[in-house]
Amino acid sequence: MIEFKMPNLGADMEDGTLVEWRMKPGDTVKRGDIIADVETQKGLIEIEVFDEGVIEKFMIKEGDKVPVGTVLALIQPIEDKRSELKKDPVSKPVDVKVHPIEEDLKGKPSDETTTPERVKISPLARKIAETNKIDLSRIKGTGQDGAITRQDVESAIERVKKTTDQPELPEEQRDKEKTPQGETIRSAIAAAMSKSNREIPHYYLSKKINMQHALDWMGAINKERPPQKRLLLAALLIKAIAHSLQKVPELNATWENGLRLKSYINIGFVIALRGGGILIPAIQRADEKSVDEIMEALNDIIPRAKAMKLRSSELSESTITVTSLGEGGADEVFGMIYPPQVAIIGFGSIVEQPFAENGMMGIRPVISATLAGDHRATDGLSGSLFLTALSKCLQKPEEL
């Protein structure tokens, strides 16, 4: 039997609240399926399954707040289920299509629907609809057997916003919004960084990199493309990092009672939120993606991060982190390692300054790349080799 546990979404997470089960006992799940929504300090996160099987039993109920590592559900592997059916061929199969009939908030059948059927809606979707004063009778459910899902309600809210003013929020909700989500996230990040500062012996390195070749290459590429298909510098930097990590793999690792090298490269990218705070979702398998594919991943993940609609795997599987201040920021940024990773890379703003190359002095667009490394895992030599490899990659962007 597989134990499906509350995932650890980073060093700044200690517990989570189960808001809604997306499935039910008897349902078959496969890797990547969303099984539940969990409320954390990082917002509402979609929790994925990483095994294939049949849900045997839920161990906690909606609304329960439990620590990281708590068993949420039991999943029976597919092979075990097949063996069980062979041993008991006359047993009745589970009817996975049966849904409980939902009633209105007073516990009585709803008489507001336009059809004789009662409204089928998930608990989370009902809560969101109630908070935003959305008439459920006007929503067509897209879930199983026509059930109204969270996405259906959110779509209805967007339609209302386009045609009417924002409805006044209930007093309880207004009080909740007095404490910005950003403050909660900042507190969680601060706790993780305090732990990092106490427990990780950092070393710091920096290197100035001529970006003329990279910018010329991007300019030529983007000139032939419509705006929505153009590349941003972040995509090129992430690809260059992934390529460089293949040459210095000891930086692509975690420290968990010893160094654990990773066979895949998932690059966490720091995203600043509108309300304050940051999230660090991962660009997964960045070494296997082209620059264009990384750009597509960024275009998908950045809006979802700012809307607090990320998946658990996007927050829990980073092997290294990069932070970029972009244009108009500081010249250099020295990050703090996000446990259990062993390195973080920083990029300041591109600044025009004197730069000597091949014995010739000129004014060049230069970026300062920094590395903070964990001295338990690597040393300055490894860090220097990485920054040198990174600089070489950015001199030949067409080869990435």
On whether both 190 and 263 belong to a single domain, the answer is: yes
**Dihedral pair phi/psi, residue 148, rounded to 5°:** -80, 125
Question: Which structural domain, as residue segments, surrounds residue 45?
Answer: 2-87
Same domain? 242 vs 284: yes
> Is residue 209 packed enough to be buried (19+ CB in 10 Å), middle (13-18) or exposed (0-12)?
buried
Any domain includes 228? yes
Q: How many domains does the chain divide into? A: 3
In a shared domain, residues 210 and 347? yes
Same domain, 151 and 202: no
CB-side exposure of 115: number of CA atoms within 13 Å?
10
The two tokens of residue 158 are 């967007």
Contact indicator for 293, 242 with CB cutoff of 8 Å: no
Please tell me whether residues 197 and 304 are part of one structural domain. Answer: yes
Q: Which two tokens stand for residue 371?
A: 């590395």
Quickly tell me which residue has 């409805």 as its tokens. Answer: 167
Q: Do 160 and 238 have their domain in common?
A: no
Summarize the confidence of residues 187-192 as an average pLDDT. 82
Q: What is the pLDDT of residue 128?
A: 84
For residues 301 and 208, state if they share a domain: yes
Q: Give 375-384 pLDDT, tens digit per residue.
A: 999 999 999 9
Domain boundary, last residue among 111, 143, 176: 176
Within 13 A of 114's CA, how many CA atoms are on the CB side? 6
> What integer best gives the mean pLDDT of the chain?
84
Q: Tally DSSP H helices, then E strands, for the chain.
A: 10, 19
**Judgement on whether residues 301 and 272 belong to the same structural domain of the protein:** yes
Are 193 and 55 in the same domain? Answer: no
- Residue 314 to residues 140, 283, 285, Cα–Cα distance (Å): 30, 8, 11
Whether residue 266 lies inside any domain: the answer is yes
The answer to whether residue 156 is domain-embedded is yes
The average pLDDT across 238-247 equals 97
What is the per-residue pLDDT across 194-236, written as a single tens digit (0 to 9) for each? 889 999 999 999 999 999 999 999 999 999 999 999 999 999 9
Mean pLDDT value across residues 101-119: 43
Q: So what's the pLDDT on residue 213? A: 96
Q: Average pLDDT in the 313-342 region? A: 89
The CATH number assigned to the domain holding 144 equals 4.10.320
56 vs 129, more confident: 56
Question: What's residue 180's pLDDT?
Answer: 55
Question: Distance between CA atoms of 78 and 32, rounded to whole angstroms?
Answer: 16
The pTM of the whole model exceeds 0.75: no
Amino acid identity for residue 142 in this structure: T
Spatial distance between the Cα atoms of 136 and 146, rounded to a whole number of angstroms = 12
Query: What's phi and psi for 36, nearest 5 deg?
Result: -160, 165
Please give the Cα distance from 119 to 146 (Å, whole number).
9
Whether 192 and 151 share a structural domain: no
Does residue 54 sit in the same domain as residue 203?
no
